[in-house]
Amino acid sequence: MITFSGVTKQYPDGTTAVDNLDLEIDAESFTVFVGPSGCGKTTSMRMINRMITPTAGTITVDGRDIAQTDAVKLRLGIGYVIQSAGLLPHRTVVDNVATVPVLRGDSRRNARKAALAVLERVGLDPALASRYPGQLSGGQQQRVGVARALAADPPILLMDEPFSAVDPVVREDLQAEMQRLQAEMRKTIVFVTHDIDEAVKLGDRVAVFGPGGRLQQYDAPDTVLSAPATDFVASFVGRDRGYRGLSFRTADQVPLHTIRTATEKELPALRLEQGEWVLVVTDAGVPRGWIDVTGVEGARAGRPVSECTAAGGSLFSPGSDLRQALDAAISSPSGIGVAVDAGGAVTGGILGSEVIAKLAEQRAAEDRARGEHFFTAQPATPDGP
């Protein structure tokens, strides 16, 4: 449990990096500090492990004021991951990961053994252990950075834009990895990012920082999206916040329709009207693309199938949210979103209009629940109804 009480950071030239921050971070939660550059999110995080000292206010970790704790001891108990990984270039990967256990007094041998175990946990090939950081790719270095922070099993993990410097595909992998690890380990994580999508995806709670180092909102991610507390939060979250908010809604109830499918062999025999679309599938039922009447003409004329089909949109997989459902429908050339099962075979089609209808249903249900709660919870006042 980490608390900020009236924490302010002001620099000699007058800039206020953090302005009167009051925040309580629950133990074992994943908290994301998000906001544009220069609004105090990194500064606030770095005050937790005393890399920066506040000019006013106190920060406590598990009830103890960190200003009274020995800084080195404090840091040995907090994991720290930064954007550039900050790996020690002159030590091998395994020695890098073993650094904190060794600092804490473990023998090098034990520390290395533990380090190898952690490396596997973050999804790295143990063969990399004897290499130097300079020989690893950016994504691999980041994983080593995370492994290093986890090696001594600290209860608190601080992460400063750790995935910002890698490309989007690697970033997604790392984010998924992080979620998996947190599900296993349940640490208190403070994660800084400027990317609202990342914040909303990873966080149990999101703290939005605004200009002047002022905290704008501290809530669960879907609340930040659906009920921004200030204009700043609303504009920071962006015009797509409605769309983003859909990712918190279940798509279980969205009906699936049958889609007309055809395999490659059946194509030349198809008879289509203008505007009709057919989904081309493999023999196993895996979708390959959509084809309309012009494409069928081309297939009959002997053109290769890939030229005649239009690329399909995103796919909807079992258990996904409304956002995926809507996107599948919108991105499909035929207007029908393709739903697939775990093996990738087509299970049915989704209509965008029905996704919106489902959304309206859910909203209505929520309104009723709020209304009932209000009216039943309202105590009778002495002065009247």
Partner 1 sequence: MRWLIDNFSVVVDLTKTHLYLALVPLLIGLLIAVPVGTAIRGASWLRKITLIVAGIAFTIPSLALFVTIPSVVGLQILDPLNVVIALTIYSTALLIRAVPEALDSVPADVVDSATAMGFTRLRRALTVELPLALPVLVANVRVVAVTNISLVSVGSLIGIGGLGTLFTQGYQRDYPDQILAGIIAIVVLALAFDLLLFLVGRALTPWTRQQKVRRTPLVAGQSAAPAAGEAS
The correct pick among 37, 73, 169, 381 for binding partner 1 (CB under 8 A) is 73
- Based on the shown chain and the rule CB under 8 A, indicate whether residue 134 belongs to the binding site for partner 1: yes
- Based on the shown chain and the rule CB under 8 A, indicate whether residue 165 belongs to the binding site for partner 1: no
Distance of CA 260 to the CA centre of its chain: 35
- Tell me the backbone φ, ψ of residue 215, rounded to 5 degrees: -75, 125
Nearer to partner 1, 104 or 186 (CB): 104
Q: How far is the CB of 78 from partner 1 (least distance, A)?
A: 8
Candidates 16-24, 79-87, 221-229, 374-382 — which segment interacts with partner 1 by CB under 8 A?
79-87
Taking CB under 8 A as the criterion, which residues in 103-132 touch partner 1?
Answer: 103-104, 131-132
- Based on the shown chain and the rule CB under 8 A, indicate whether residue 99 belongs to the binding site for partner 1: yes
- Based on the shown chain and the rule CB under 8 A, indicate whether residue 141 belongs to the binding site for partner 1: no
The correct pick among 53, 107, 110, 135 for binding partner 1 (CB under 8 A) is 135
Distance from the first to the final alpha carbon of the chain: 43
- Based on the shown chain and the rule CB under 8 A, indicate whether residue 89 belongs to the binding site for partner 1: yes
Candidates 86-94, 110-118, 257-265, 271-279 — which segment interacts with partner 1 by CB under 8 A?
86-94
Taking CB under 8 A as the criterion, which residues in 143-162 touch partner 1?
Answer: 148, 158
C-alpha span between 263 and 21 (Å, rounded): 61
- Based on the shown chain and the rule CB under 8 A, indicate whether residue 69 belongs to the binding site for partner 1: no
C-alpha span between 15 and 43 (Å, rounded): 12
Q: How far is the CB of 114 from partner 1 (least distance, A)?
A: 15
Candidates 16-24, 32-40, 95-103, 266-274 — which segment interacts with partner 1 by CB under 8 A?
95-103
Count the site residues for partner 1 by CB under 8 A.
28
Candidates 80-88, 181-189, 308-316, 343-351 — which segment interacts with partner 1 by CB under 8 A?
80-88
> Would you state the structure tokens that stand for residue 17, as one six-digit string?
């990096």
The correct pick among 5, 58, 84, 317 for binding partner 1 (CB under 8 A) is 84
Nearer to partner 1, 78 or 326 (CB): 78
Q: How far is the CB of 230 from partner 1 (least distance, A)?
A: 32
- Based on the shown chain and the rule CB under 8 A, indicate whether residue 100 belongs to the binding site for partner 1: yes
The correct pick among 6, 28, 90, 235 for binding partner 1 (CB under 8 A) is 90
Q: How far is the CB of 129 from partner 1 (least distance, A)?
A: 14
- Based on the shown chain and the rule CB under 8 A, indicate whether residue 82 belongs to the binding site for partner 1: yes
Nearer to partner 1, 42 or 216 (CB): 42
- State the residues that interact with partner 1 by CB under 8 A: 49, 51, 72-73, 75-76, 78, 80, 82, 84-91, 99-100, 103-104, 131-135, 148, 158
